[in-house]
């Protein structure tokens, strides 16, 4: 952006939050260049939605899991034409807006605006999603909490915006389309590299915990199809024979929110090791803290999931949590001395036993892991001294992979920040293309 220059002259827009604009740009109220519309009874048209960072997209193109449910009665859904500005009434303050490229229908809760001929639609799609304009959606929204805030058109329509001449808009849109495509491509490449690094880590872990570090040892059939061959001197034992299991505590909402540390589903699902500081608190009794204690070496498994593919994620406790308890959505496995916590941390987070959970549960709806099923999980057991060597080997190499992943994530963050700054600066006239 250092190569971009400022416009030759600027003037005061007369609007405090806009400030100075290029001399030939206009500052006008939104109501003067848009027309609110709500045309219904077109259930045959394609369903559209508005997503953060994506703008207006077709329902059939949505790949991530949806938490909202589409109504079966689409008669009240509103018609959207190409070039219309669509705002998610409850999420606009977060930037959930966009100019549509498609003809279709959207939720009756959305605000649909027809843009005047003063706008180039590509420019408008960039402009109405900038941080400066999104801040006006927030100012003109009302609500309780930080999740949903209703946007009021009666207030928003009074808001002033700045508009360049149409030829300037076309030039800006063309420039930004090219630059954002380049930046998005660079970001995607780094995201793909991160996935490759994660796959490499998984292969590293799987190989070490199933075959060991000495590739010259004799191998034997493990007796478990999805495990395959293991070193001849290793064992395979069901989990029930190397420790005990315990479901977490179940209690009403009044039990939580203050008191002593509480390990919840997210603490386990997101982390290979339990975090040193947990977010949850519970009003646990001394008896609860004894029954649902958390000691060094304990392994926690997630009990519930949308599918069996996601069931049984684990996290290992590497330091005892004093006075802590854990959630009923978890199962605690407390191993005996045959299992070293450094080895179990990687072993239970590896992908080798995913086959067991998928095969035994075989569900496509919400699944629940029982203690009995977990107790029957075959566990590969090298001698303890080998477990320690394997753990140290994985830790050393995992650190290198984590470092590479963190570097890519930092670069992605910088690219996204640059993209946002570039768009904001160009469409508000701070620099010219």
1-49: pLDDT as tens digits: 557 899 999 999 999 989 999 999 999 999 999 999 988 888 889 999 9
Sort strands 48-51 and 55-58 into parallel, antiparallel or unpaired: antiparallel
Give the model's confidence band at 236: pLDDT under 50 very low, under 70 low, under 90 confident, else very high: very high
Query: Residue 364 has what pLDDT?
Result: 45
Task: State in Å, rounded, how far the first CA of the chain is from the last one.
Answer: 10
Query: Residue 367 has what pLDDT?
Result: 63
**Residue 427 pLDDT > 90, yes or no?**
yes
- Report the CATH superfamily, name and number, of domain 213-381: DNA methylase specificity domains (3.90.220.20)
**Residue 169 pLDDT > 60, yes or no?**
yes
3 or 191, which is more confident? 191
Q: Is the pTM of this model over 0.85?
A: no
Highest mean pLDDT among 277-286, 328-337, 403-412: 403-412
Query: Residue 23 has what pLDDT?
Result: 95
Arithmetic mean of pLDDT, 342-352: 88
Query: Residue 105 has what pLDDT?
Result: 94
Within this chain, domains 26-163 and 213-381 share the same CATH topology: yes
313-338: pLDDT as tens digits: 788 888 888 899 999 989 999 999 88
409-421: pLDDT as tens digits: 999 999 999 999 9
Percentage of residues in the chain having pLDDT higher than 90: 65
**Residue 304 pLDDT > 80, yes or no?**
no
Of 239, 264, 247, nearest to 370 (Cα)?
247
Query: Residue 189 has what pLDDT?
Result: 97
Residues 6+ apart with CB under 8 A from 134: 92, 93, 94, 95, 97
Query: Residue 396 has what pLDDT?
Result: 95
Query: Residue 266 has what pLDDT?
Result: 86
**Residue 70 pLDDT > 70, yes or no?**
no
- Report the CATH superfamily, name and number, of domain 26-163: DNA methylase specificity domains (3.90.220.20)
* Domain spans in the chain, listed from the N-terminal domain onward: 26-163, 213-381
**Residue 368 pLDDT > 90, yes or no?**
no
78-94: pLDDT as tens digits: 999 999 999 998 889 98
Arithmetic mean of pLDDT, 186-210: 95
Arithmetic mean of pLDDT, 149-172: 93
363 or 269, which is more confident? 269
Query: Residue 320 has what pLDDT?
Result: 85
Query: Residue 68 has what pLDDT?
Result: 54
Arithmetic mean of pLDDT, 184-192: 97
Query: Residue 195 has what pLDDT?
Result: 96
Alpha carbons 322 and 13: distance in angstroms, whole number: 60
96-134: pLDDT as tens digits: 999 999 999 999 989 999 999 999 999 999 999 999 999
């Amino acid at each position: 952006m250092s190569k971009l220059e400022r416009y030759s002259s600027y003037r005061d827009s007369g609007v405090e939050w806009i400030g100075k604009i290029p001399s030939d740009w206009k500052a006008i109220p939104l109501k003067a260049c848009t027309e609110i519309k709500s045309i219904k009874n077109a259930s045959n048209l394609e369903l559209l939605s508005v997503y953060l960072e994506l703008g207006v997209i077709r329902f059939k193109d949505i790949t991530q899991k949806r938490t909202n449910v589409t109504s079966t009665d689409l008669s009240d859904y509103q018609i959207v034409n190409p070039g219309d500005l669509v705002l998610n009434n409850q999420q606009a303050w977060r930037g959930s807006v966009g100019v549509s490229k498609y003809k279709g229908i959207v939720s009756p809760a959305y605000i649909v605006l027809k843009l005047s001929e003063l706008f180039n639609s590509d420019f408008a799609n960039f402009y109405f999603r900038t941080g400066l304009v999104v801040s006006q959606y927030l100012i003109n929204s009302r609500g309780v909490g930080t999740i949903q805030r209703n946007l009021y058109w009666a207030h928003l329509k009074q808001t002033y915006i700045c508009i360049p001449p149409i030829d300037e808009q076309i030039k800006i849109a063309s420039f930004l389309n090219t630059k954002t495509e380049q930046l998005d491509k660079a970001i995607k490449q780094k995201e793909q590299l991160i996935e490759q690094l994660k796959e490499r880590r998984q292969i590293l872990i799987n190989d070490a915990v199933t075959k060991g570090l000495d590739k010259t040892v004799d191998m034997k059939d493990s007796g478990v199809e999805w495990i395959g061959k293991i070193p001849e001197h290793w064992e395979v034992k069901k989990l029930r024979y190397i420790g005990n299991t315990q479901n977490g505590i179940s209690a009403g909402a009044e039990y939580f929110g203050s008191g002593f540390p509480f390990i919840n589903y997210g603490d386990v699902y997101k982390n290979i090791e339990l975090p040193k500081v947990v977010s949850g608190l519970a009003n646990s009794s001394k008896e609860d803290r004894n029954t649902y204690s958390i000691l060094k070496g304990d392994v926690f498994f997630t009990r519930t999931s949308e599918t069996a593919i996601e069931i049984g994620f684990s996290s290992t406790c590497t330091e005892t949590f004093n006075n802590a308890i854990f959630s009923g959505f978890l199962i605690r496995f407390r191993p005996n001395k045959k299992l070293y916590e450094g080895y179990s941390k990687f072993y239970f987070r590896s992908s080798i036993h995913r086959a067991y959970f998928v095969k035994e549960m075989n569900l496509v709806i919400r699944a629940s892991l029982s203690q009995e099923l977990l107790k029957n999980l075959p566990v590969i057991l090298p001698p303890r001294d080998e477990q320690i060597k394997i753990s140290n080997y994985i830790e050393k190499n995992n650190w290198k992979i984590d470092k590479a992943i963190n570097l890519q994530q930092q670069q992605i963050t910088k690219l996204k920040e640059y993209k946002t700054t570039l768009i904001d600066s160009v469409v508000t006239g701070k620099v010219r293309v």
